Amino acid sequence: MKKRFIKGTLIIYPLYVLLVWLYLFQWADVGIPAAYEGTAADPATFMTDRELELSQEYSRYRNFLSFATIPLEWIIYIGVLVFGLSHGFKKFGERISRFRIVSIPVYVLLLSALTWFLTFPVDYAYRYLSVHYGISTQSFSSWMRDEMLGFWIGFIIMALLITVLYMLIRRFEKRWWLYAWVGLIPFIVLMMYIQPVIIDPLYNDFYELQNKELEEKILTLAERADVPADRVYEVNMSEETNSMNAYVNGIGSSLRIVLWDTTLNRLQEDEVLFIMAHEIGHYVMNHLYWNLFGLLVGSFIGLYAGYRILRFAFRKWGDAWNVKDMSDIAGLPVLYIVLSLLTFVATPVELAISRNAEADADRYAIEMTEDVDAAIGSFQELTVNGLSDVNPPALVKYMRYGHPTMMERIHMLESYNDEKSSP
């Protein structure tokens, strides 16, 4: 089995990477459709030749890295099983403690550390591209701090979830997926509540918006939309990036309206107000709660499908992997692979729903502000500062874009202007 794994990986993976390269750098059409040439959606009207060249390069390399590395974790998890590392991690955890509440987190830590180490070159490649093309301004030490912080936060959350899950699997052999889903509901709601007030501040400094006049205008927009906010927060992202962003997140008393300082520094006031109207639109149209509903439905389907697939996989290959049954923590890599594959299959649907929600928020924002020039200007500036590809290849759009392309968004704004001016 080891030889087949090595041989298959050395043949199939390089072929896959080659196909990805050919698609992105040779076959994909990156030109601007004739219907958009000369319009506000045409990057030639608001980007220099050099900026346009850099945006296409940066997007291609990032997309290549993203697609090329999709199978890497699957390969790692299969390798952990095939080479017996998973069984070794399990035995090490059991030597530390015979209690599963201790041995399972030890196993999760070992598997997480190995995966982090093997995928670190990919993370660094993303950082290199971002720095090379002038997007990231973050020092290496600061970036490593965020990497380690993310690792430990992820480990703590995953160790908790996996420990509870495997206790449920041992106790309820045929219904564990249902009880796990029920337990997931309060956990997801809790995470939505604590994310803005506990986790996000670990990475960046949040403080009240210094421009009180602008804050008053944003809060006026929020009041018109019945958004229960009494302050606007600013976050010092300029220490890390030249990109721009703003968002409304949290639920209940943890609700926050947040602006990156890069957005404040690079956009005009009316452009900032359009961006905030867009984010408020998400809140007004209950996109946060629809996302929660979608996550719960998706997790229900995913856990049930995972249960069925795991039963089949362990019956067929359990002995070869030295995994006793589904409740054996040594089989965790199989669970990771199955859930990852299910997530991959669901991604185009999730992104299509997200793009529709973003388009709705754009329409809400322009109807609220009625300032087409500011709206178009904000999107053009976002494109330039983020070196965004306004017209990505179809596969990239459907597998990576949670927003409509900038070409589509700007075209919608121009169409709104035409509709408004028509009798």
Residues 293/270, Cβ–Cβ less than 8 Å: no
Contacts of 369 (CB under 8 A, 6+ apart): 270, 273, 274, 277, 375
* 240 assigned to active site: no
Torsion of CA 7, 11, 13, 16, to 10 degrees: -160
- Give me the catalytic one of 261, 271, 279, 408: 279
The strand order across the sheet containing 232-235 reads 206-208, 232-235, 256-260, 246-249
Name residue 248's beta-bridge partners.
Answer: 257
- What residue type is 368 in one-letter code? M
Does the CA dihedral 335-339-340-345 come out positive or negative? Answer: positive
Name residue 232's beta-bridge partners.
Answer: 257
Q: What is the CA radius of gyration of the chain?
A: 24
Residues 260/245, Cβ–Cβ less than 8 Å: yes
* 279 assigned to active site: yes
Q: How many Å apart are CA 94 and CA 99, to the nearest integer?
A: 8
CA angle 298, 303, 306 (to 5 degrees): 120
Beta strand spans in 151-249 (E)? 206-208, 232-235, 246-249
- For 387, the 3-state DSSP assignment is coil
282 is in an annotated binding site: yes
Q: Exposed, middle or buried, 36 (CB in 10 Å: 0-12/13-18/19+)?
A: buried
408, 422, 392: which is closest to 55 by C-alpha? Answer: 392
278 is in an annotated binding site: yes
- Give me the catalytic one of 215, 261, 362, 381: 362
> What is the CA 346 to chain-centroid distance, rounded?
14
Q: Annotated binding site, which residues?
A: 278, 282, 358
Give the catalytic positions in this structure: 279, 362
Q: Annotated binding site for Zn(2+), which residues?
A: 278, 282, 358
